[in-house]
Amino acid sequence: MSTPNSTIEEFAEKEYQYGFVTDIESEMIPKGLSEDVVRLISSKKGEPEWLLEWRLKAYRHWLTMTEPQWHNVHYTPINYQDIVYYAAPKPKKQINSLDEVDPELLKTFEKLGISLAEQQRLTGVAVDAVFDSVSVATTFRSQLAELGIIFGSFSDAVKEHPDLVQEYLGSVVPYSDNFFAALNSAVFSDGSFCYIPKGVRCPMELSTYFRINAKETGQFERTLLICDEDAYVSYLEGCTAPMRDENQLHAAVVELVAHKGAHLKYSTVQNWYPGDKEGKGGIYNFVTKRGKCLGDSSKISWTQVETGSAITWKYPSCLLIGDNSVGEFYSVALTNHRQQADTGTKMIHIGKNTSSTIVSKGISAGFGQNTYRGLVRINPGAEGARNYSQCDSLLLGDKCGAHTFPYIDVRNPSAQVEHEATTSKIGEDQIFYCNQRGLSNEDAVNIIVNGFCKEVFRVLPMEFAVEAQKLLGVSLEGSVG
């Protein structure tokens, strides 16, 4: 008779299904990092002088910094001279329509379930596809442009809207912010840019899909989203990478700006290659994501489903500057096999009557280690601020771990801060109960885990929620232990 323990293990065995490599010729610069490399990247992209200067400042600052050690993840040291900092599918020419995109690339994205073909417009999602270091295609650009919405690659934005980029780049995450943000600022190659003008409600979901393909490269993309007064946008980000034995570094920066009355919703389904069962290979995901609720009554919501990466290090945060502004963070983080995640959020209350909600669901299976790390800070001027935090951990098996580090720093006596935390284990009893109703072990674990994550899935955009549920199922296969 199979015991729940052995089934949880079987369940985690399923292979990573996005692990294929696209055979495409790419242009890569030699390994290593120096001022020359920074200059080379900048010149390859034909950047203006101010941007090169900014990169160089970031690089020089990075040299003075050391890699953070405070996190609860362990990995072999990264050799920053052993990474290729720029790779682009060749030939890179001016692309005017999807017909001109390399069919191999289109096929790659088809295989990932991201159709870039225009006839797929019924899905109602505009996609910017980033392959290795470059944005290869953006759909629906012209339709969005009619509403004054700018959506496309970061490189194009630098050329076409330099004023906007210069005004906002680094305004939320300065290049000096942290080690990985400084590195990104020096070498970022592309990413997405989006601007929603005053009063415009973006009629479709905007989406960026990141794909690492080339070997030994790092991916350093930069995303900048600006929502002008009373505008609204819902933005989705997805990512995958091939299975490779060596670790690959992904150090991205995402900056969000919400002006008065604007509402920005940012959802991520992160499914980078997690490494194999023994912990060999996988993506090191060191990402800085931060949003600024600049105007009164603005709102930023982060929703993340983190199932991939060998190491996840990210804290999507909100600076609640405008009065009555709202920050939200909904997270599901799953670690299986040897995966490690240290993730959470920072809610910094600066304006009056600001409020924030944190719902974090950590799932650990196999030998996975899952850490929630969060900061709620109520500044002295943040009269009437409120926060509600809920951190729940679910353990599958007895070799994994869940850790919670909630920091609360209240400097105004009118604040109301609530924190709730639970840790539970999927019980043999729960699985047997499901079995006795006719459900297999696999279905039982899926149902229990999905129930655990319900509060987060509820806030994901519809088609993403379905994806996320499936993804959790796949990521957990063989994990019942």
Partner 1 sequence: MLEIKNLHARVDEKEILKGINLTVKPGEIHAIMGPNGSGKSTLAGVLAGRATFDVTEGEVTFNGQSLLELAPEERAREGIFLAFQYPVEIPGVNNMYFLKAALNAIRKHREEPLLNSTEFTKLIREKAKLLELDASLLNRPVNEGFSGGEKKRNEILQMAVLNPYLAILDETDSGLDIDALQIVANGVNVLRSPERAVIVVTHYQRLLNYIVPDFVHVLAGGRIVKSGGKELALELEEKGYGWIEQETRATAGATA
**Shortest approach of partner 1 to residue 459 CB, angstroms?**
14
**Shortest approach of partner 1 to residue 441 CB, angstroms?**
8
Distance, CA of 244 to CA of 279 (rounded, Å): 11
Q: Is 451 in the site for partner 1 (CB under 8 A)?
A: yes
**Shortest approach of partner 1 to residue 330 CB, angstroms?**
14
Binding mask 370-409 for partner 1 (x = CB under 8 A): ----------------------------------------
Q: Is 440 in the site for partner 1 (CB under 8 A)?
A: yes
Binding partner 1 by CB under 8 A: which of 435, 459, 463, 474? 435
Could you tell me which stretch among 210-218, 350-358, 397-405, 424-432 binds partner 1 (CB under 8 A)?
A: 424-432
Binding partner 1 by CB under 8 A: which of 133, 288, 441, 479? 441
Q: Is 478 in the site for partner 1 (CB under 8 A)?
A: no
Nearest to 226 by CA among 135, 270, 163, 268: 163
Binding partner 1 by CB under 8 A: which of 4, 274, 281, 344? 4
Q: Which is nearer to partner 1, 229 or 455 (CB)?
A: 455
Is residue 30 packed enough to be buried (19+ CB in 10 Å), middle (13-18) or exposed (0-12)? exposed
Binding partner 1 by CB under 8 A: which of 117, 428, 466, 470? 428
- Structure tokens given for 138: 């953006």
Q: Which is nearer to partner 1, 225 or 426 (CB)?
A: 426
Q: Which is nearer to partner 1, 107 or 458 (CB)?
A: 458
Could you tell me which stretch among 2-10, 107-115, 160-168, 327-335 binds partner 1 (CB under 8 A)?
A: 2-10
Cβ partners under 8 Å of residue 410, min gap 6: 376, 377, 378, 417
Q: Which is nearer to partner 1, 24 or 447 (CB)?
A: 447
Q: Is 439 in the site for partner 1 (CB under 8 A)?
A: yes
Could you tell me which stretch among 148-156, 178-186, 209-217, 443-451 binds partner 1 (CB under 8 A)?
A: 443-451
Q: Is 453 in the site for partner 1 (CB under 8 A)?
A: yes
- Total residues in contact with partner 1, by rule CB under 8 A: 27
Torsion angle in degrees (nearest 10) through CA of 362, 363, 366, 369: 0
Q: Which is nearer to partner 1, 452 or 464 (CB)?
A: 452
**Shortest approach of partner 1 to residue 334 CB, angstroms?**
16
Q: Which is nearer to partner 1, 243 or 448 (CB)?
A: 448
Distance, CA of 114 to CA of 201 (rounded, Å): 24
Binding mask 267-286 for partner 1 (x = CB under 8 A): --------------------
Could you tell me which stretch among 70-78, 209-217, 268-276, 433-441 binds partner 1 (CB under 8 A)?
A: 433-441
**Shortest approach of partner 1 to residue 468 CB, angstroms?**
14
Q: Is 447 in the site for partner 1 (CB under 8 A)?
A: yes
Q: Which is nearer to partner 1, 3 or 412 (CB)?
A: 3
**Shortest approach of partner 1 to residue 466 CB, angstroms?**
14
Q: Print the SS3 string covering the chain.
A: CCCHHHHHHHHHHCCCCCCCCCCCCEEECCCCCCHHHHHHHHHHCCCCHHHHHHHHHHHHHHHCCCCCCCCCCCCCCCCHHHCECCEEECCCCCCCCHHHCCHHHHHHHHHCCCCCCHHHHHHCEEEEEEECCEEEEECCHHHHHHCCCEEEEHHHHHHHCHHHHHHHCCCCCCCCCCHHHHHHHHHCCECEEEEECCCCECCCEEEEEEECCCCCECECEEEEEEECCCCEEEEEEEEECCCCCCEEEECCEEEEEECCCCEEEEEEEECCCCCCCCCCCEEEEEEEEEEEECCCCCEEEEEEEECCCCEEEECCEEEECCCCCEEEEEEEEEECCCCEEEEEEEEEECCCCCEEEEEEEEEECCCCEEEEEEEEEECCCCCCCEEEEEEEEEECCCCCEEEEEEEEEECCCCCEEEEEEEEEECCHHHHHHHHHCCCCHHHHHHHHHHHHCHHHHCCCCHHHHHHHHHHHHHHHCCCEC
Binding partner 1 by CB under 8 A: which of 49, 91, 436, 462? 436
Could you tell me which stretch among 66-74, 223-231, 381-389, 432-440 binds partner 1 (CB under 8 A)?
A: 432-440
Could you tell me which stretch among 135-143, 155-163, 342-350, 430-438 binds partner 1 (CB under 8 A)?
A: 430-438
Give the binding site for partner 1 (CB under 8 A).
1-4, 427-430, 432-441, 443, 447-448, 450-455
